[in-house]
Chain A
Amino acid sequence: MGLKARSEFLYFAWRNKKLRVGLAIILFFALMAIFGPFLAKYPPNEYVEVAAFPPSREHWFGTTIFGQDVFSQFVHGLRATFIVGLIGGTIGTLLGILIGFTAGYRGGMVDEILNMITNIVLIIPTLAVLIIIAAYLTVRGILTESIFIGLTAWPWAARAIRAQTFSLRVREYVDMARISGMKSWRIIFGEIAPNMMSYLLLVYILQFGGAVLNAAALDFIGLGPTDTVSLGLMMNYALLWAALPLKIWWWFVPPGAAIMAIVGALYVTNVGLDEVFNPKLREL
């Protein structure tokens, strides 16, 4: 990206309201995930107070039925959420890039086979596979969860990137590179990938959001990490320990609201970025 193009990008990026709002929300929660645990006065799982205490000055988000501090759990859970998003999203995107580029660039039989595999894996519901994997692992950490989420999330990304690569590989500069005898991987990463950076960023954002939602679902049905707190797990406990009939709303409202806000902000950022990258979509 030339200097002029970059300043133009920043100019439109700053002017885009969706991008500003989305990034602000993500940043807010990211800061909370990083610094929140230092602010929290109690360890997340320690029984510190009378049970089911509503939000107060001492316990900002109240306490659980066991007397744990909800705010402590919340900020630690946020951390877990961002870790899953980062790792799961990265793995999913990288796999998608690898498979999508290879299929789209090589074409022919390689594409035929990879596409077939992608289509098959695409049909099998991710959560069903994750349930089985999670049930197989008795001890689960946040890292393993992230890795498995990433490993099952690539198909749609691979397909989207494959389609993009198809349209790019017939471009002139790619032909030039090929004629001049450049190696395939160098053409892919030297010529095609830079022209798709914006698209890959959008894919990554969606993978990030998808990983967060998948982790929440997995944690909620009790197959999440066994050694730490997470937002999904908080809701799981809230449901199991009758937060509904006991009206302990402060137990399950914050974790879900945070997931919704983060994922929603990711989507909005995505739309904003899309508008910045594609001049056609810019509002006049």
Chain B
Amino acid sequence: MTRYLSRKLLIYILTFFLAVTIDWLIPRLMPGDPINVMISRLGPRNPEEVKLLRDYYLRLFALDVPMWQQYINFWKSVLQGDLGRSTLYFPRPVMDIIKAAVPYDVFLLLPAILISWFAGNNFGALAARRRWLDNTVLPIGYILTATPYMWLALLLAWALGIVAGWFPIAGAYSFELRPHFSWLFIKDLLWHWFLPFLSLFMVMFGGWAIGMRNMIIYELEADYSRYLETLGAPQSLIRRYAFRNAVLPQVTGLALQLGTIVAGAVATEVVFAYPGIGNLIVSAIQNQDYFLIQGCFLFIILGVLLANLFIDVAYVIVDPRTRLGMAGEVA
């Protein structure tokens, strides 16, 4: 188990290292000078003022030292949680902006991922045992998982938001409200949350249901299932064993799907103007706010790494083979 987890940990540390390096490179490779953009936005009146501002920003962004020093400085500030300042929301620190956005991502993604995973698995397992259910679940599942996230989001917003008028289609809460702890606000929050959640949930659900359905059929054909049948074991026991075995690849599948889920979350947040990191990174790009792009990228990687770690621990719990230090995992 230690070998399994430490190997994974090494990969995560290397991934993080790579991500921070990419992150450091971004503003240095990007076209256009972020400082020029920012200065032009503030609209200084004469060359002296421009120079003054430029020096100030150079110091602020630490661009006036050699490259290797910049790199080390960057690591220092990343580890201290200092990601620079946004030019779009100047002078707010990037860290603050992201901190404000993260709760919305957690609030949106965690339920969508977990509920779709559990529901999809159970539904897929159920589909595998009844032909009529299988014949309906399978096509619906394939349609759902082939649906682009933003299109389903658009359809739901149009049908349930505009035409039916049941749900709001933008923001995390109503304009006239300020975040505070009250029943009114929570209700409003959930009201706005529902459509983005539903569109993410539906697409993921299709994928899990199909995955489980296929896995469980495969497991029901496995040797251990057959042997149980020759021992006259009841179907309930055979299905229980098959389910437990079929869940394992679904757990690793969750780790593999995280990339797609991130993409889906970005698109969905854009459709519903939901104030998470996905929305943030898109507006950062549109406004060439490189420090904000950096910060968002880093946080996306961090989130994915955390999720991976969590999944690994879950996997060790469900698959005894990893505990015994024998290769049983697929990821």
Contacts and interface: CB of A to CB of B under 8 A. Distances in A.
Interface of A: 116, 119-120, 122-129, 131-132, 134-136, 138, 156, 209, 213-214, 216-217, 220-223, 232, 235, 238-239, 244-245, 247, 249, 252-253, 255-257, 259-261, 263-264, 266-268, 271, 280
Interface in B1-49: 11-12, 14-15, 18-19, 22, 26, 29-32
Given A125-B259, A127-B262, A216-B148, A247 B297 contact: no
Contact of B297 (A128, A244, A260): A128
A214 B154 contact: no
A134 B32 CA distance: 14
A118 B276 CA distance: 29
Contacts of B163: 247
6 contacts: A116-B14, A125-B258, A213-B263, A220-B270, A247-B163, A268-B142
Contacts of A252: 151, 154, 158
Contacts of B154: 235, 238-239, 244, 252, 256
Interface of B: 11-12, 14-15, 18-19, 22, 26, 29-32, 142-143, 145-152, 154-155, 157-158, 161-163, 169, 221, 256, 258-259, 262-264, 266-267, 270-271, 281-282, 285-286, 288, 293, 297, 300-301, 304-305, 308
B292 to A, nearest CB: 11
Contact of A263 (B146, B262, B264, B288): B146
A131 B285 contact: yes
Given A221-B282, A256-B150, A264-B142, A127 B266 contact: yes
A62 B30 CA distance: 39
Contacts of B155: 253, 256
Nearest to A212: B148
Given A127-B266, A216-B148, 5 more contacts: A125-B304, A209-B146, A239-B150, A256-B154, A257-B151
Determine which residue in A134, A135, A235, A252 has the highest number of CB atoms from chain B within 10 A of its CB, and name it: A135
Determine which residue in A123, A126, A244, A267 has the highest number of CB atoms from chain B within 10 A of its CB, and name it: A123
Contacts of A259: 146, 148, 151
B301 A222 contact: no
Nearest first, the 4 closest Cβ-Cβ pairs linking A and B are A256-B151, A264-B146, A127-B263, A263-B146
A55 to B, nearest CB: 16
Determine which residue in B14, B158, B259 has the highest number of CB atoms from chain A within 10 A of its CB, and name it: B259
Nearest to A215: B148
A221 B221 CA distance: 44
A151 to B, nearest CB: 14
A244 B286 contact: no
B135 to A, nearest CB: 12
B11 A119 contact: yes
A281 B30 CA distance: 50
B150 A217 contact: yes
A215 to B, nearest CB: 10
